[in-house]
Structure 1
Amino acid sequence: MSIDPIQIVYTGVGMPRKMVFNGNEMNTGICKDEVEQIIVNDESCEGDGVANTNFHGGPDRVVCVYPYEHYGKWEKEFQTSLPPCAFGENLTIKGLTESEACIGDIYQVGEAVLQITQGRIPCQTISKRTGIQPILQRIVETGFTGYFFRVLQSGIIRKDSTVSLIQRHPLQVTVLFANQILFHDKKNESAIRQILEVDELASVWRDKLSKQLESIS
């Protein structure tokens, strides 16, 4: 687990808006504006919205996080420069990657208390937003998807807010491990059962993994 301080690099919100890709308009919530603070409650971030409720939104997916460490990786791999909140996240955090973030972990983030619920299930909108067509495939391959928090206590989160672990979930199922099972090792029955033992797992992930389990049982 990380021993360096966890830091917020960017905070962002944005309502769904039109984005043009290859001459076609699409309505998306991925375009976030960098702001100095966000206000979160158990349903949403104020001033933030989603267009595709299949992958975003709801009490299990209030705050979207993307690790800052991956910015450098993708910029180097694809020889490009990425803007703040390039992946549509509300918080860009340094020091808490998918290999360190466990489902069910609880963090104090500024005034808010947040709990990790699931890895993000990425879609083609990320490729369209960044202008990097292969990046979606690489995100799935690496498991560097980012993740979601639910809000246990409402409050203000500023760019200079501290992030501290309140409680580590006893099962310590990392987001990276869960991503590997959901996307790649889909017939690993024991691993699926291990993830499903985490009561705090988001309902959409519970449904997906339960269906995977049924298909191999």
Structure 2
Amino acid sequence: MRAVAETLLEVKQLTITFGGLIAVNNLNMQVRIGEAVGLIGPNGAGKTSAFNLISGVYKPTQGQVVFNGEDITGLPPYEVCRKGIGRTFQVVKPFGAMTVLENTMVGGFIRTSNRAKARSIAERVLEQVGLDSKANLLAKNLTLADRKRLEVAKALATEPKILLLDEVLAGLNPTEVEEAVQMIRTLNQSGISILMIEHVLQATMALCKHIVVLDYGKKIAEGTPEEVTSNPEVIKAYLGDEYETAIN
């Protein structure tokens, strides 16, 4: 059963069209305070488009984004960020010629114009994500796993109430996935709500007690990991018959 808590993020009938393509179709979804929610579905299902709508990159064709009780629909990304929504991007592009610390300070400047304060925020965040020992390395010299951590650090430095994580586990080996899952779990336990897009289903199921499934822009299921993975429509659209055979 889903925990009873105050709603932090709610999208209502959220829709966006690109020409004749409906990328997100009448999406209704909630994330509660302190909750970790997974957003899954096949490639092209509209997951990243939903993130772009929530974070202000796209303006919806119709519908609302309500955050912390306030309608933030259509606000530009920097204002959405200041409200308390941080996000990562699927393709990580750090400032390669800047250090790990300097990259993270960029996020801190959303909260302060004081360089010393931004540095303090960045140092704290780098310790949280396990990059404090690499603070003075150039970002271009990081491994993929550490670039992913830096992407999370930049978002964390904006001091969000909720983190939107877009495939932060993609491309990582099993050990790196396990370490990243523990990092995300610790962030969630610290009080930051999580909404994550991820194809590494085992990790999603371990982190999230509530899952929303999209297909062709529409929500086809939501519930606990057990409920969505046993849903015939989810198996057909995303998990495949092999998954159904494996669990029977």
TM-score scaled by length of structure 2: 0.26
TM-score scaled by length of structure 1: 0.28
Q: For the pair shown, which has the larger CA radius of gyration, 1 or 2?
A: 2
The structure whose residues are more often helix, as a share, is 2
